[in-house]
Amino acid sequence: MNFDHLKTIYRDFDIRGKYPEEITDDEVYRIARALTLHYQVKKVAIGYDIRPSAQNLCSALTRGFLESGVNVIDLGLCTTPMSYFMCGSTDVDMAVMITASHMPSEYNGLKITVADARPVTKDILEVIREIVGTHTFSEEVTHGTITAHALQTDWIKHFKAQHDLTGSNLSIVVDPANMIGILEIATFKAFEPDITVHTIFDEYDHTCPNHEANPIKHEVLASLAEEVRCRHADLGVAFDGDADRVGFVDETGTPVPSDLIGALLARSVLKNHPGALVVTDVRSSRSLIDEVTRLGGTIIREKVGHTHIRTRMRSENAILGIELSGHFFFKDSYFSEGGPLPAFIIMELLKETKQPLSALVAEVRKHHHSGEINSHVTRSKEAIYQTITAAFPDLPPRYQDGLTLEADDWWCNVRPSANDPVMRLNLEADTKERMEEMRDILLGLIRSE
């Protein structure tokens, strides 16, 4: 077994690669056998998105589990948050979602959760890789059973039980980017006529012909913004490729950063859980920290990555988790993403306050953020960190996830890409002028030779 090849697909948070050059049917079959061996699972749920390789990989994964004596629940088409819901709310021992998130359709992979929707972390994925590469699996077959399950009905029923938009008269535009988030249109429409649901790019097409399924990029939200303005809607919601990340535009079509959406979510969540903990990644705005503190909550900073935040939330019993890329995590969703849950909480806030989303955002936006800026570099991260810290000797460096410096009126985080020779800068200051000044200074230091 070629371990150099295997190393490329076993990532920090999931298993992912190009099909069939990197991730293959045989390998996925062996992964199922390895997962069974390691976790001793008896019942597994399997779902998938619309990628052309999904059926082949699902068949291989299912065969691997069945031949290990595991009973398989076939979820068919579903979103990643739906698979987490299945893992947390039923008696399955594991759920596997076949997806590569926002990556192009020639890629595919596995997102794995175990009992109570706990994420499988990097150290366990390395163990699975070792088993796949070295173990000789028994040829003696003990067949499990396979059962189909219509998960979407349970999912919609769950949302109907948790949310009340009666009389809200809100108008929303949903953009699933031609990917599996199309399933969530039915979740929103279940609340009609109290809300009006408009949609764009709502037919399945794994090539994503209209735009990339990655709502963190503001250019991706351009069509959504235009439709919101055209429809005079109250907000727009965009999903990524597997619908575990959500992007927002307000009623003017202006994109709303995820940390500011997080500050508004904290208003709702902390009202019912005073003094609770909120986990956010190291890139998030001081505006979020200010709002959580004002509400009586406590912020915990964590490394970027959904597995890091979900694991930290569970260990600290945090109520809410926010990642700048558009992941929102909730204790009530088994410390995982809730799919359209952030949109429903925002709609409930709009109903309660009778204010437009732009006004609510203006209340929490206290600082000026640069957004994440990528720089292609030739120097090592250590050399770049040394250059930056030498320029600011009075600021104590923090190396939790990359390099973070904090001054009274500005802060920055500089961290490397996991896959490319790129350094990512996030910087924020109390004024726009100070942000632009410090942004340019930091970019000069990062890009210097």
Q: What is the DSSP letter of 313?
A: H
* Contact of 22 with 5, CB cutoff 8 Å: yes
Q: How many CA atoms lie within 13 A of 392 on its CB side?
A: 20
Strand order in the sheet with 328-330: 298-302, 277-281, 320-322, 328-330, 336-337
Beta bridge partners, 302, equal: 281
101 flagged as catalytic? yes
Torsion angle of alpha carbons 136, 142, 148, 153, nearest 10°? -80
Tokens of 441: 């200074």
Round to whole Å and give the CA distance between 185 and 212.
19
* Contact of 342 with 301, CB cutoff 8 Å: no
Alpha helices in 25-180 (DSSP H): 25-39, 54-66, 80-89, 122-134, 151-162
Token pair 């953009």 is at which residue? 175
**Annotated active-site residue in 101, 223, 284, 325:** 101
* Contact of 74 with 149, CB cutoff 8 Å: yes
**Which residues are the active-site residues?**
101
